[in-house]
Amino acid sequence: MQAQGLRAPVTTLTKFHQSTHQRLYIMKEDPPPEPRRWEEDGGLMDSGVSIGGLDYSTSGPNHGSVIVGMLKVGPKNLFVMDANNRQLQVTPLCVLDFYIHESFQRRGYGKRLFDFMMTMENCTAASLAYDKPSPKLLSFVKKYYGLSEFLPQNNNFILFREYGLEQIAADATFIGRKMRHIAG
């Protein structure tokens, strides 16, 4: 919340269970092998490990795994304006929430998670809509996917120029995204 300047969490378990057609991708990191040291009595002693302020434990079902980040996506029916001031109705797959813990940022985890989602969803970064993207997310998609030009929308979603709103004909339907021209 703090990293994105939000007043409340975007994703909660309750909200996620109430929504339909949304998918949550969660990335976890297993702890590194724990260092061991010899004690004076001749036995091996395990030491605790802390990485990035997160403590790993060797007890419990996950054996010290930590959540590195999460990415929530789902289709949304959106009314958007293209550069020609046409109002269109589109139903793209949307990035609804994307977060990598601060201690794991700038280490490739976000790109790995985002690429995994795109493989599973059979999409590209340009074919997605983004819900209220933070400056960090805009910088991320520019750096890794070359996306920077977009038209701001009244609904707080953005579609990048590469989405191709200008090429959409009235009453056109495309695989992966439904589109309809709305008479204005």
Orientation angle between helical segments 109-121 and 135-145, nearest 10 degrees: 70
Six-digit token string for 168: 């959409």
Task: Count Cα atoms within 13 angstroms, Cβ side, for 141.
Answer: 24
Predicted confidence (pLDDT) per residue in 28-72, tens digit: 877 655 555 555 555 544 444 444 444 444 445 555 677 889 999
Q: What confidence score (pLDDT) does residue 67 get?
A: 81
> Which helix (H) or strand (E) element contains residue 79?
strand 78-81
Q: Which of the pair, 34 or 82, is modelled with greater confidence?
A: 82
- pTM exceeds cut of 0.85: no
